[in-house]
Structure 1
Amino acid sequence: MDCLFCLIILCTACFLYCIKHYLRAVYLALNLPGPPALPILGNVLLLNNEKRLVELGISASQLYGSLARCWISIIPFFWIYEPKHLKLILPGKNSQKNIFYKLLHNFIGKGLITNNGMTWKTHRKLIQPYFHISVLENYINVFCDNTQDLLNSLEENKDIKITPFINKCILSILHNTILGVCLDDDKESPYRKGEVILKERITKPWLLIETIFKYTPFAKTEEIQKLTLHNYTKKILLRRRDGIQKAPCQNLLDMLIEISENNHDFTDEDIINEAVTFMLAGQDSVGAAVAFTLYYVAKHEEVQSRIAKELEEVLESDRPTVTELCNMKYLQQCIKESLRLAPSVPIISRVLTEDVVLDGHTLPAGTNIFISPFITHRLPHYFPNPSTFDPDRFSEENVDKRHPFSFIPFSAGQRNCIGYKFALLEIKTILAGVLRRFQINLVPGHEDLEFSYRTTLRAKGGIWLRLNARK
């Protein structure tokens, strides 16, 4: 009997030791402010209340101070949004991507977005040189060609929902620049139909358990999507290797093949994973950035006039050079101000790999955290009148005065978005084309912007514009 009692005590002690970081995180969560939580479910139902989510994002710092907590079922998460705190977390020495990114393996595979450790570090080092500005310059013609196709598809003096046109343009650009194939009909591409099921798994926490999830219809849908995307990309890869299908322009897939030929640890599976990752990561995020910028510019006539004047001064033809794109300073300010108000990725998630002290509170190793550009970009002590659209916030003078981690639309630190320069050049080319040809206005009845949360931020119901040809 004594032996049994000792065994129970020993097992209990071992169990408590194994979950000590969890217990420390729970204790901290119980002593920090945050939105009211339900038993067992925690705050997951908030994800289905998009209006309330936006309200909390706008007022989080006023409601909860510099650090807040929430619950995903019985697991505590901590919201970190103050730039001084982000400076300690985002460089990546004490954190890595958490379980939510591992769940994306079921959809996009193991690429730069979802990987951790040496695999991520090695792939990032191998791929990074291909996103240097001297390489990106070769994509400008593709941006221009597809922007021209977009402009030809738009009708003047007519109210249109601009978002499908923008998304089609970007999908075509990605097929050319990432896969090296021309997309004659966007309906032929499986990348047009992909849908991430992460939100459904979070709002039903029992689906986070893989042994339960794999028996659900969600798992089957996700597996079919993954197979479709990977088989489509593999088919292009094999044709390229066999010399059957030549690329019409420089593209990332050929560069990944070049990496694999010089580094045998970089396999065909790695090529497919990375190509799928770039195709998906560059689609919704860039589409949202273009659409939101058009919305805010259409809403502010004086801003649009300044852009039109700058384009007239900078551009010598309808096909901008990389130098001309870089000289579009005010347009870039407008893009950044749009990304401030509507960051394409509103929430980033991490797990701490060591204890971190923030404002006297110790967040233990193993703690899950949310980083929200949506909240950080609205901190009134960094952005006065944060709901006001003001591109001059991003003049060189004003940027130099602000904390470098107060604006993080592409994340920051060693795990920042590898393709952000590519994205900015792409966004500028499309916007310059549209705003040089058209005067844009909001459509009556569609003036109000309502956000919709998925993996990326979107405009509920899309964005409607009225286009009038410029003289």
Structure 2
Amino acid sequence: MLDFAIFAVTFVIILVGAVLYLYPSSRRASGIPGLNPTDEKDGNLQDIVNKGSLHEFLVSLHQEFGSVASFWFGGRPVVSLGSVQQLRQHINPNHSTDSFETMLKSLLGYQSGMGGGATETVIRKKVYESAINNTLKNNFPLVLKLVEELVGKWKSFPEAQHTPLCGHLLGLAMKTVTQLALGESFRDDTEVISFRKNHEAIWSEIGKGYLDGSLEKSSSRKGHYEKALSEMESVLLSVARERKAQRKQTVFVDTLLQSSLTERQIMEDCMVFTLAGCVITANLCIWALYFLSTSEEVQEKLYQELEEVLGSDPISLDKIPQLRYCQQVLNETVRTAKLTPVAARLQEVEGKVDQHVIPKETLVIYALGVVLQDSDTWSTPYRFDPDRFEEESVRKSFCLLGFSGNQTCPELRFAYTVATVLLSTLVRQLKLHQLKGQVKEVRSELVSTPKDETWITVSRRS
């Protein structure tokens, strides 16, 4: 069904697309201020398309109607929360699912493990997170090696040479994630190139193709997407079977194979980790280096911390928690770039935010991109300022939004580790310089990414 496909891929499908069709719903948004549907069939879908992204639509919605606002997907009302105060009232800290992971599974049509009850969901989440943590511990030297190869390449560049961040850092993320997730066969560049081709075909359609309905309208594009998805699934299943026969215990898929998950569930979790892990890691690194290039002061402060904590030694996993300013730089990168601008929850029981009642089975959007640049929460919200995270109140707000602490999605925790290795290696050897006149436009889809290639120059530290 076209409107369900469109509904699904505008980020908010997520959680229980099927449930939204099984339960009756009111034609009224319970008195919450917001937009009336502009189309009987699609609700406010065309308004979202006209704004260019769901994030930009939510910015406009909250500017007009305040921090609690409603709109329509098809014939169903949706409530959006756009401030820390309202999110604090709504978030259930004991919620067992990760909205980004659940969103991707729903977009990809994966349902296994989602209908087995809360206990199965918690167990599967723990297996997934344990697999990522074990992988980092077992393969940290490999992460360092891949980063050092990239930094060595940059050191060989003439100082005036323009360095493309997107191309280089997506390559780093792709090599890191595939080798840590699937094993040594992906040290072969041919395997990585083939994987990257299918990865990009799938992610581009998830991020944009359904939003304007264009994927459903183009049989050739839909065929290309389905072919890429099928090829990727075949590769992941093949790797899982091969690793199971070899009884290896070093990478992500190996931990999953030791669990009680089915072969299909293992393939799905590998798909989610490789898709999300690559994109989130790449974009966190891209934005971090871009923002560092705009501030010599931040670079120098980070350099001093790295010298004090690490000296001339390479970074190690146990030293990462000591790099507090580096953590602040990455936190501020996530905030300033609005790295993941939208999350969503299904209202499982009737709830209330301020004076507004939110009926059971209502989809509630967390407009994180709006909240991350709300001037009531963040002073000078559009300025890149890692020092703001020295304040406990700022750290608490950031944690509440799910970007740090126990609620952080595992793909983002993985990305933080890779980005810390990159910054600790790069900043001690090179200085980053911004190109004058480069206007940075943002594509705010599932993960915020630069609209065009981002260039910097580098010079050696004396």
- TM interval, shorter chain, is 0.7 to 0.9
How far is the alpha carbon of 1:117 from its aligned partner?
4.5
Residue 183 of structure 1 corresponds to which residue in structure 2?
187
Structure 2: unaligned runs, 5 residues or longer: 1-20
CA contact (8 A) 1:102 1:114 kept: no
Residue 270 of structure 2 corresponds to which residue in structure 1?
275
Secondary structure at 1:189's aligned position in 2? helix
Residue 463 of structure 1 corresponds to which residue in structure 2?
454
One-letter amino acid of the counterpart of residue 80, structure 2: W
Alignment deviations for residues 347-396 of structure 1 (CA, whole Å, 9 cap, x no partner): 11222121111111111111112112211112222112211111111115
CA contact (8 A) 2:55 2:445 kept: no
One-letter amino acid of the counterpart of residue 187, structure 2: L
Residue 69 of structure 1 corresponds to which residue in structure 2?
70
Residue 7 of structure 1 corresponds to which residue in structure 2?
none
Residue 162 of structure 1 corresponds to which residue in structure 2?
165
One-letter amino acid of the counterpart of residue 358, structure 2: L
1:354 to 341, 349, 352: 349
Distance 1:50 1:214 in 2: 20
CA contact (8 A) 2:55 2:341 kept: no
> 1:392-407 counterparts in 2 under 5 A?
392-395=387-390, 397-399=392-394, 402-403=396-397, 406-407=400-401
1:426 to 403, 418, 421: 418
The size of the alignment, in residue pairs, is 433
Distance 1:99 1:175 in 2: 20
One-letter amino acid of the counterpart of residue 213, structure 2: K
How far is the alpha carbon of 1:398 from its aligned partner?
4.7
One-letter amino acid of the counterpart of residue 381, structure 1: D
Q: Are the structure 2 counterparts of residues 218 and 91 from structure 1 closer, same or farther at C-alpha, using a change threshold of 3 Å? A: farther
Confirm or deny that 1:439 pairs with 2:422.
Answer: no
Q: Are the structure 2 counterparts of residues 137 and 364 from structure 1 closer, same or farther at C-alpha, using a change threshold of 3 Å? A: same
One-letter amino acid of the counterpart of residue 464, structure 1: W
Secondary structure at 2:365's aligned position in 1? strand
Residue 403 of structure 2 corresponds to which residue in structure 1?
409
One-letter amino acid of the counterpart of residue 75, structure 1: R
Distance 2:114 2:296 in 1: 38
Identity %: 19
Q: Are the structure 2 counterparts of residues 153 and 67 from structure 1 closer, same or farther at C-alpha, using a change threshold of 3 Å? A: same
One-letter amino acid of the counterpart of residue 367, structure 2: S
CA contact (8 A) 1:170 1:287 kept: yes
Report the aligned-residue RMSD.
Answer: 3.5
Q: Are the structure 2 counterparts of residues 361 and 54 from structure 1 closer, same or farther at C-alpha, using a change threshold of 3 Å? A: closer
Distance 2:267 2:108 in 1: 13
2:280 to 272, 281, 285: 285
Residue 234 of structure 1 corresponds to which residue in structure 2?
237
One-letter amino acid of the counterpart of residue 421, structure 1: R
One-letter amino acid of the counterpart of residue 425, structure 2: G
> 1:57-96 counterparts in 2 under 5 A?
61-91=62-92
> 1:331-370 counterparts in 2 under 5 A?
331-370=326-365
Confirm or deny that 1:201 pairs with 2:210.
Answer: yes
Distance 2:195 2:115 in 1: 23
Confirm or deny that 1:449 pairs with 2:444.
Answer: no
Residue 3 of structure 1 corresponds to which residue in structure 2?
none
Distance 1:95 1:143 in 2: 30
Larger CA deviation: 59-68 vs 360-369: 59-68
Q: Are the structure 2 counterparts of residues 370 and 422 from structure 1 closer, same or farther at C-alpha, using a change threshold of 3 Å? A: same
CA contact (8 A) 1:29 1:76 kept: no
CA contact (8 A) 2:80 2:366 kept: yes
CA contact (8 A) 1:94 1:353 kept: no
